[in-house]
Structures are given as C-alpha cells and as structure tokens.
C-alpha cells in the first residue's frame, strides 16, 4: 500500500488527472461564464435571493428616475450608460439631438399660481418644447433656453424606453407629463405589483415609495441628486413593471438560476478533485516508492525560486485566464481573436497548474529534507547578516566590557589608594581630623538653623571615621596574632584577610611566607625521615659484622707467637673497629634525634648537678689532660629537660674540649642566670686555627681539623646541639679568635 | 659449668664459645630459638647467652618459654640498644642485657658474674644483716661489700654512700640528701665530690661503669641503686 502510495506511476497518474481536472475546470468555468453567467444580467450574488429582491427588478424600476437624473445632469456628464433588463446597453451622447420633435405625449403644463412666484427663473414651458437648440449666449433668454432643454432632454432620454415591453412610467415635471402608458397620474401605475415612486416638491423635499421589490432600499439607488440641478421644479417619477411581464421575467430568471447553480456545483466538484489530488501529491512528494527521502539536482535550487514560481504561476495563470476569458467573451476590447484566446485559456490554465503544483511539491520536498530554510537564499543571507551582526555586536560588547573594566579597575585602584592613604600616618591624621571636624560640625549644627543637616553630616562622617579606625585596629590585631602564631611554629595558621588594603597585602605576604615555610618544612621533615630510616637500618646491619670483627680481633690478639708487626696490626684493627663501633652508635643516635623519633623525657633537673655528674664521668681524662678546668656553677638553677640526653650533650662538649684544647690553657665551665634564663657556658682555647663557619662545625661529620686524624665520630657537636634543641634549649656556638665558646640556654623552672 | 650460646650468626656463636672455652666453661651452641629449647631439654645448662633477633623463634619468645620451667641466668644479646628494648628484655626474665657490638671480655665478665651469683645465691640470702641487690651484697655489720661473692674494696665514704643508696634501694637520692646524710653538712656549691665518689664506686662494683647494672646516675637529679 505504501509502495503504491509513493510509486512514480501513481504520481504520474495523479498528475495527469490533475491536469485533466484543471482543464475540465477551466472549460466548465469558461462555458459557464460564456453560456450563462455573462449572458445573464444577474450577478452571482443575485442567485442567493429570490426574484422579488433581485437587481433585475430594482434595475428595471430604477431606469426612469435614472434617466431623469441623467437628463438633468446632461451638462456635467459626457455620456451615460443605461442597462436595459434585456442586456442591451443604451449609450447616449450628452449632446442633445439638434432635431427634436415634440412628443405628442408631452403635455404642456399649465402655469400655476405656485409656479408664478418662480416666474423669473422658471420660463413658460409652452415655448420650450418647440424652441431651437440652445446656443450659449449672454442674452437674458438663456435661462429660458436651458430650462427648455430639460424637457427636451427628458423627452430625448425617455425615448429610449418609450417602447419598453414591460416597463411603464409616468413622469411629471412641473406641469409637463411624460409617459408611455395611459396613466393619467402616478396613482394609475401604483396598482401594479412592482412600482417605484419618487417625488420632489418645489421646495426641494424628496420622498420615495416602492412596492413589490423586497431587496434592500439601497438597491433602489436612484434618487434625486443635489438640489441645484432641479431648482424649484416639482417632479414626480413613477415606474412600474407590467404584471404579466414580471411573471414572464421571473420564470426566465429562475431557469437561468438553475443553470448557473448546476454550473457552480460542477465547478465545486472539479475544484474538490483538484484539491484532493494536490493533497495526495503533497503527501507523496519527495519520497520514492520505498518511502525514502531522496535529493535530486532539482532540489538544489533556491527555495525562493520555487516560491516565486508557485506564486507567479498561480496568480499569473488565474489573471491570464481571467483576461483571456473576458477577451474571448468580447466584453474586453482586446486584440486577440476568439479562436486564439480560447485555446490559450487552456494552455495558460494547464501551465499555471503545472508550474504552481510542481513548485509546491518542490517546496514540500525541501521541507521533508529539512532544507527549506537552508536552501533559502534569504535565510542564507539573513544567517550571513546575522553572523556579521553577531560579530559586530560581540566586538561592541567586548569594547564595552573593556571600557567597563577600565572604569572598574580605576575605581578599585582609587579605593585601594584611598585605603592606603588611610593606612598611613597622614591617613590616620586625616581620620582624626575628620572626627574632630565632624564634632565641630555637630557643634555648628546645634547652633544653626540647619541643625539637622549638619548633625546628620557629622554623624555620618564620625561613624565612617570610627568604623575605619576600628576595622584597622582589628586588622592589626589579627596580623599581630597571626604573626605570633606562625613565629610560634604553627605554620599552617592563616591570617584572615583584613579590610585595609595595605594590611591586606601585608597579611597576604605573611600567609604566603608561612605557607612556603610550612611546605618546605614538611618536605624537609619527610626527607629527614627517609634518611633516618636508612641510617637506622644501616646502623643495625653494621652492628652484627662489627661484633664479629671486634670479637675475632680480640681472639687474634690473644694468639701467642705472632710476629711483632702482626701484633701492631691487630691493635690498629682493634682501635679502628672500636672507633667504628662508636661511630655507628653516634650515627644512630643523631639520626634518631634529628628525625624527631627520639622520645624526650622531660624532668625538672638541677643544672649544676647535671654538669657535676657529667664532669665526674670525665674525671680521669680531665686530670690527665693538662688543662685547668675552672668550673663555676650557680646553685638552685632548675631546667626542664631530659637528663640522659643533656648529660650526653654536655659530655660531648667536655669530650670536645679535651680533644681540641691547647695544652696548658684554662677551660671555663659556668652555670649562671642570665636575664632570667639558665645559661651554661663552655669556653676553651683551641689548639688549632679555627678556620670554619660556626654553622658548619655543628653539622654531621664535621671536625675542626681537616685531617680527621683525631678520635671521635665528628658527630659530637651535632649530637650535642640536636639533644639540646630536642630538649627545647638554645645551643649557641661562637668563635672569637682562638676562643671556642658554647652557650646552652634554657628557661628556668 | 655449661653455657648455651644462641645466635643465628654462626661466627658470633663461634667467637663467644672460644672466649668462654678459654675461661674454662663448656659451651653448647644453638642457632635459633627452637634448637636452643631442644638443647636445654637434652642437657644441663647453667647459663644461656641469647640473641634476640633470630629466625623461627626469637630470643624474647625463647626466653619466655624457658622461664616457664627454668630459672637459669640468661644474658640477652642484641643489636637493639634502645632503652625500651632493654626494658622489654629484662621484663621478659633476662638477667642481663648486652648490646652488640660488645666487648668479649665484658661479656665474659658478665657471664662470670651471673654464674657466681647463681651458684652462691642461697648462702648469701640467709644472712640477716646483708642488703642484697642482685649480685651485690652489703654487710652492714662488718661494713663490707661483696660483688658476686667477691669482696669489693671501698673507702669509708664510698661505703657510706653505697649503704645509704642500698638502704633506699630503688629510690633516687639527690646529691644534697646524700651529702647531708654522709657528711652531716650542707653541700658546697661547685663541689662535685659526690659525683666523683659515685663514679669511683661504679668503677669498683660495675662491670661496665658506663652502663651500670647497680648504681645508676639519674642525671640532674641524683643517684639510685637498683
């Protein structure tokens, strides 16, 4: 079914049918117009009514008054067409006939008393009908001549309907009567079924009366026109249709009505067929027998072309057909003979239909393909224009944005600057001044009539000044607090953004520094931890083989009978392995404390006792050193620290002194309260030239002597410093010439 | 006297046994905890030197198993030198703790000390006027001190200090306190007499004065005897 619907054969058949129907339609229309409609005097509109209200009746009844009015108007109108009910057209030249014989029916009006008053303007009609044709002359008799012409014209005009088959009339102008029947007065005609009576009194009053006609009074359009035409003439016009004639006409009318109706019905059926075929074609358009949408070369043409073809084809064909039909009917004075125009009608209609419908179908195809707008040159143009416009608008917008940003930045800078100024001393003075000023203003306000304004002004300024100062003070507090926190080691502390611009900058900078510090400290800690783990493992792994080395060296030293050199070598191995043992332990210790994995047991320690106990451990070495130890310890100084770690630290310092002091010099060891702090000092004179940095010397494996020939791991000072710092003490090392000085500071508790 | 040496490092076991053999002890060797327990069941052992870090059954676990039935002295041997490790070992029932790398002579001295104490324990305990701490015995009547049954020569001051500490065993005595009680005077500033005396005592009664077994320095606070 679907296949059939979209198949080309079906479409072709539909096309053929469509063309056939079109031609049939045009033929029918032409025939109808030719045969019935144009021949009939009745408009299509008429067939909607009955005969009694048709324009046939009104037109016929109208004729006498129309003629009369025309006669009066002859000076204004060049010619007049009068349609007879029979369809023939009376065409009249305005120039009156030069030979005019008085009609026997003209009744010479008697002068009346009423017309006597008008004698000046109204001449005696007796003279008029037989007078010569008027020639314009400035004589006093001119008016007379004109008036005379009215009767002549009326007589002349009415001669056209004098012999009318069905129409009777009775016209009376003043006393002159024109009639084509036996009527003695208008009353005689008013017995008829259809009559129309129009009366004009000499004072210009008009009245109309009709009978039989049932249409709108407007269709009985003839009436007396403007007053000046008639002057003071009293006129009666009565027209009537003979009853037999009316009956006869009615029958003809009804017959024609039936014919036209049938004609219209056929046209409607044909039109319906055409419309249905078009609908089918539209529905089937653009799809092949499989129901697929296909695009052909024809589809590539612009939408507008098809639109133009469709509109042009339809309107052109209709217009051309109308012209041709009219032309071939002879109502139009065209140059085309009927034998040419008649076939042309069909050609025009067929072509018009072909072009219109095919264009329509092309448009439908475009819609189906979704290309209706895409193929439209207008749309393409509009899209192009829109793109350009968009670009322009976008640029404009950007330009505006730039301008806006410029202003915004300027404003911001202005604000920042203002805040900065406020932040400076001058700014504070300004604020202070403003406060004073506002106070003065307030004072002024209280003593002047403008008090409320001054007062308000003063309050606003004062409030603003106070607000700014309070904000500032808060900012400063926050920064102070933040800095303290960061200084105290809480590196993750973030100073909340202050209100004042300059302080904001400061706070941001501090935050930044703290952040960087935090990060670097974290990174360093991590690296330190890794290192420590490595060292710990290595330390452990070193100890086991070292144990064997020491043990077997000792065993070896007990072997008897070895050469002397061998014994020397063994003692060297023993010494070095012993050194290695200490080194391993020291390395392990410092790694632990520096990585922070050493647990520190804080206790309240007697600093003097601590030093004494440590010195006691080195009693023998001190005695044998040849150094003069001067120990001055203040009593009752207590510190909070780990005793074991501190004794190790102090022990290392003493060991250091013993190793590196110039023989025979004094060594000063003291404990004193300095500025509320416990301060331990260790001073000695170096036995060598101390050419090193104070920071360097506390580093790992750094020793004063480059040769590294002396005992010790080189970790002594580093361990001492680390332990002191682990106990929250301060370790300071200074070199002054040959004086080597270490100060350990602790908070007293 | 038979000593069982346990360590997973064969060289160390070998060297220790050499030293001990030289001192006249008979030595049994084991290289892990399980083997050690086997040897203990099969032989009469008077002392055990036990390494902590060993495969299969480590030293601490072996020690705990041993302590369920036997009371022989055990000297732990370890590369772990932390206080926490020492405490763990001693709590588990060890009598001594020696860190690697050790001095062989020191180890032998400690073995000797432990064995002497182990064998002479019963006789010392019976004496009334003796203050006994481990292998240290102080006769308050004759004012003599014996370490593992051997007499130690102390000066009168040294003896007084040691006696005072022994009477307050486990308690930390401050330098001032010792001074007052020994000399019956107030201490003098800058005088490290007590520190020196204590140091001397330690040298006399301790195998390794730097790692005292009995007389301990509580740095910055005082001294105590454990």
Q: How much is the ipTM here?
A: 0.84
Query: What is the pTM (predicted TM-score) of this model?
Result: 0.47
Which H or E run includes A492? Answer: none
Question: Cα–Cα distance between A419 and A346 in angstroms, integer?
Answer: 92
Strand partners, A170: A179, A238
Q: What is the per-residue pLDDT for A138?
A: 41
Q: How far is B104 from chain A (nearest CA, A)?
A: 6
Other CB atoms within 10 A of residue B84 CB? 9
A623 contact B CB<8A: no
Matching residue, tokens 């952040």:
A515
Average pLDDT over residues A333-350: 75
Which of A203, A201, A187 is CA-nearest to residue A238? Answer: A187
Residues with Cβ within 8 Å of residue B87, at least 6 apart in sequence = none
Q: How far is A585 from chain B (nearest CA, A)?
A: 9
Looking at the structure, give the CATH architecture of the domain made up of residues B127-225.
Orthogonal Bundle (1.10)
Confirm or reject contact between B199 and chain A (CB < 8 A): yes
Where exactly are the structural domains of chain A?
Answer: 2-39+254-369, 44-241, 383-423, 426-486, 599-747
Report how far residue A694's alpha carbon sits from residue B30's, in angstroms, rounded to the nearest whole number: 52
- The pLDDT confidence band at residue A290, using thresholds 50, 70 and 90, is confident
Is the CB of A633 less than 8 angstroms away from the CB of B189? yes
Which strands make up the sheet holding A730-736, listed edge to edge? Answer: A628-633, A666-674, A677-685, A739-747, A730-736
Mutate to test the interface with B, among A613, A655, A671 (most CBs of B within 10 A): A613
A169-220 residue pLDDT tens? 888 888 888 888 888 888 888 888 888 888 888 888 888 888 888 777 776 7
Mutate to test the interface with B, among A547, A549, A570 (most CBs of B within 10 A): A547
- Look at residue A446 in the predicted model and tell me its pLDDT: 66
Nearest-angstrom CA–CA distance, A433 and A443: 15
A631 to B190: CB separation less than 8 angstroms, yes or no: yes
> Any idea where the domains of chain B sit in the sequence?
2-118, 127-225
Most confident of A75-89, A493-507, A618-632: A618-632
- Residue of chain B nearest A671, judged by CA positions: B190
Query: Range with the lowest mean pLDDT among A222-231, A364-373, A591-600, B162-171?
Result: A222-231
B:101-160 residues touching chain A, CB 8 A cutoff: 101-105
User: What does the pLDDT look like over A592-624, one tens digit per residue?
Assistant: 787 777 788 899 999 988 998 899 889 888 989
Searching chain A, which residue's CA lies closest to the CA of residue B192?
Answer: A612
Q: Which chain A residue lies closest to B175 (C-alpha atoms)?
A: A609
Is B100 close to A603, i.e. CB distance below 8 A?
A: no
* Contact criterion met (CB < 8 Å) for B221 and A603: yes
User: What span, in angstroms and rounded, lies between the C-alpha atoms of A102 and A107?
Assistant: 10
Give me the phi and psi of A483, to 5 degrees please. Answer: -60, -40
- Are the C-beta atoms of A65 and A77 separated by less than 8 Å? no
Which among A208, A240, A235 has a CA at the least distance from the CA of A69?
A235
The pLDDT-based confidence of A708 (bands split at 50, 70, 90) is: very low
Over residues B67-73, mean pLDDT: 87
Domain A599-747 belongs to what topology?
Heat Shock Protein 90 (3.30.565)
Contacts of B208 in chain A (CB under 8 A): none
Cβ(A44)–Cβ(A37) under 8 Å? yes
Q: Which helix (H) or strand (E) holds B162?
A: helix B156-167
Task: Label residue A101 by pLDDT band (50, 70, 90).
Answer: very low
Which chain A residues are closer than 8 Å to B218 by Cβ? 643
Residues of A in contact with B18 (CB under 8 A): 555
Write the CB contacts of B38 (distance below 8 Å, at least 6 apart in sequence). B30
* Chain B closest-CA separation from residue A629 CA (Å): 12
Looking at residue A671, its pLDDT comes to 93
Whether residue A110 is predicted with pLDDT greater than 80 in this model: the reply is: no
B191 vs A contacts (CB less than 8 Å)? 612
Candidates B203, B219, B221, B223, partner chain A, best to mutate (most A CBs within 10 A): B219
Contact assignment for A606 to B199 by CB distance below 8 Å: no
Percent of chain B with pLDDT over 70: 93
Band of the pLDDT at B76, cuts 50, 70, 90?
Answer: very high
Q: What is the pLDDT of residue A427?
A: 66
What would the pLDDT profile of B128-170 be if each residue is shown by its tens digit? 677 888 778 888 888 888 887 788 888 988 998 999 998 888 8
| Residue contact A617–B199, C-beta within 8 A | yes
Fold designation for B2-118: Rossmann fold (3.40.50)
CA A164 to centroid of chain Cα atoms? 78
Answer whether B195 sits within 8 Å of A616, measured CB to CB.
Answer: yes
pLDDT at A124: 37
Whether B156 and B164 have beta carbons less than 8 Å apart is answered as no
Q: Is the pLDDT of residue A376 over 50?
A: yes
Please tell me the distance from the alpha carbon of residue A220 to that of residue A258, in angstroms, as a whole number. 25
When the pLDDT of each residue in chain A is averaged and rounded to a whole number, the result is 78
Lowest mean pLDDT among A261-265, A314-318, A445-449, B40-44: A445-449
């Amino acid at each position: 079914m679907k296949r059939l619907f979209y198949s080309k054969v079906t479409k072709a058949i539909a096309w053929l049918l469509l063309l056939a129907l079109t031609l049939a339609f045009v033929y029918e229309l032409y025939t109808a117009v030719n045969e019935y409609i144009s021949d009939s005097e009745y408009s299509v509109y008429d067939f909607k009514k009955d005969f009694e209200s048709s324009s046939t009746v009104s037109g016929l009844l109208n004729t006498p008054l129309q003629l009369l009015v025309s006669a009066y108007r002859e000076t204004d109108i060049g010619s007049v067409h009068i349609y007879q009910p029979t369809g023939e057209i009376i065409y009249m030249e305005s120039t009156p006939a030069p030979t005019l014989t008085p009609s026997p029916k003209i009744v010479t009006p008697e002068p009346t008393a009423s017309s006597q008053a008008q004698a000046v303007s109204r001449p005696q009609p007796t003279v008029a009908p037989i007078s010569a044709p008027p020639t314009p002359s400035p004589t006093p008799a001119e008016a007379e001549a004109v008036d005379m012409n009215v009767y002549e014209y009326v007589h002349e005009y009415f001669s056209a309907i004098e012999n009318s088959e069905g129409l009777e009339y009775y016209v009376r102008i003043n006393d002159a009567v024109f009639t084509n029947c036996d009527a003695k007065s208008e009353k005689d005609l008013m017995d008829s079924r259809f009559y129309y009576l129009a009366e004009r009194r000499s004072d210009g009053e008009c009245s109309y009366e009709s009978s039989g006609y049932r249409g709108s009074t407007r269709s009985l359009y003839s009436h007396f026109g403007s007053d000046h035409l008639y002057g003071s003439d009293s006129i009666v016009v009565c027209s009537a249709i003979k009853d037999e004639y009316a009956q006869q006409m009615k029958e003809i009318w009804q017959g024609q009505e039936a014919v036209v109706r049938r004609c219209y019905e056929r046209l409607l059926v044909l039109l319906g067929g055409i419309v249905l075929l078009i609908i089918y074609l539209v529905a089937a358009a653009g799809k092949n027998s499989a129901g697929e949408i296909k695009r052909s070369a024809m589809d590539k043409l612009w939408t507008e072309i098809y639109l133009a073809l469709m509109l042009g084809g339809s309107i052109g064909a209709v217009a051309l057909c109308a012209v041709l039909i009219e032309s071939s009917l002879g109502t139009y004075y065209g140059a085309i003979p009927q034998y040419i125009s008649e076939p042309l009608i069909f050609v025009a209609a067929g072509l018009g239909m072909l072009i219109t419908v095919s264009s329509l179908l092309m448009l439908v195809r475009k819609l189906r393909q979704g290309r209706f707008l895409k193929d439209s040159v207008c749309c393409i143009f509009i899209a192009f224009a829109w793109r350009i416009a968009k670009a322009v608008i976008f640029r404009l917008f950007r330009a505006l944005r730039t301008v806006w940003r410029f202003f915004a930045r300027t404003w911001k800078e202005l604000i920042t600057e203002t805040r900065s100024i406020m932040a400076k001393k001058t700014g504070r003075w300004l604020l202070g001044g403003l406060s004073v000023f506002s106070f003065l203003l307030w004072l002024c306000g209280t003593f002047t009539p403008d008090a409320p304004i001054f007062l308000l002004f003063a309050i606003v300024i004062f409030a603003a000044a106070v607000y700014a100062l309070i904000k500032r003070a808060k900012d400063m507090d926050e920064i102070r607090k933040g800095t303290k926190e960061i200084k105290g080691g809480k590196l993750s502390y973030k100073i909340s953004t202050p209100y004042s611009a300059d302080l904001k900058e400061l706070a941001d900078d501090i935050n930044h520094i703290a952040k960087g510090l935090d990060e670097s400290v974290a990174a360093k800690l991590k690296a330190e931890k890794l290192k420590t783990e490595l060292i710990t493992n290595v330390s452990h792994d070193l100890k086991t083989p070292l144990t064997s080395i020491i043990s077997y060296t000792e065993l070896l030293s007990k072997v008897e009978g070895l050469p002397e050199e061998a014994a020397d070598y063994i003692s060297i191995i023993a010494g070095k392995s012993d050194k290695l043992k200490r080194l391993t332990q020291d390395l392990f210790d410092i790694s632990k404390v520096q990585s922070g994995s050493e647990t520190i047991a804080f206790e309240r320690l007697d600093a003097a006792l601590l030093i004494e106990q440590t010195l006691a451990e080195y009693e023998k070495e001190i005695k044998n050193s040849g150094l003069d130890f001067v120990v001055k310890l203040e009593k009752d100084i207590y510190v909070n620290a780990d005793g074991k770690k501190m004794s190790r630290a102090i022990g290392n310092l003493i060991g250091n002194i013993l190793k590196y002091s110039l023989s025979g010099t004094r060594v000063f060891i003291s404990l004193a309260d300095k500025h509320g702090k416990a301060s331990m000092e260790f001073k000695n004179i170096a036995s060598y030239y101390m050419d090193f940095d104070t920071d360097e010397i506390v580093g790992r494996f750094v020793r004063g002597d480059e040769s590294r020939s002396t005992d010790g791991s080189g970790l002594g000072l580093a361990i001492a410093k680390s332990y002191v710092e682990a106990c929250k003490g301060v370790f300071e090392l200074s070199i002054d010439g040959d004086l080597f000085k270490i100060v350990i500071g602790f908070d007293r508790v | 006297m038979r000593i069982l040496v346990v360590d997973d490092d064969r060289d160390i076991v070998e060297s220790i046994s050499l030293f001990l053999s030289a001192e006249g002890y008979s030595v049994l060797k084991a290289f892990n905890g399980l083997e050690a327990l086997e040897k203990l069941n099969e032989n009469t052992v008077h002392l055990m030197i036990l390494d902590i870090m060993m495969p299969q059954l480590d030293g601490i676990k072996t020690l705990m198993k041993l302590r369920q039935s036997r009371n022989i002295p055990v000297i732990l041997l370890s590369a772990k030198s932390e206080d926490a490790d020492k405490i763990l070992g001693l709590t588990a029932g060890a009598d001594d703790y020696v860190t690697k790398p050790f001095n062989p002579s020191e180890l032998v001295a400690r073995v000797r000390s432990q064995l002497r104490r182990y064998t002479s324990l019963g006789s010392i305990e019976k004496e009334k006027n003796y203050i006994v701490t481990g292998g240290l015995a102080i006769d308050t009547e004759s004012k003599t001190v014996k370490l593992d049954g051997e007499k130690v020569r102390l000066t009168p001051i040294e003896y007084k200090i040691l006696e005072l500490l022994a009477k307050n065993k486990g308690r930390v005595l401050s330098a001032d306190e010792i001074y007052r009680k020994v000399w019956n005077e107030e201490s003098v500033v800058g005088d490290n007499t007590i520190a020196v005396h204590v140091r001397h005592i330690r040298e006399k009664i301790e195998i390794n004065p730097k790692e005292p077994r009995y007389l301990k320095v509580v740095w910055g606070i005082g001294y105590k005897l454990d």
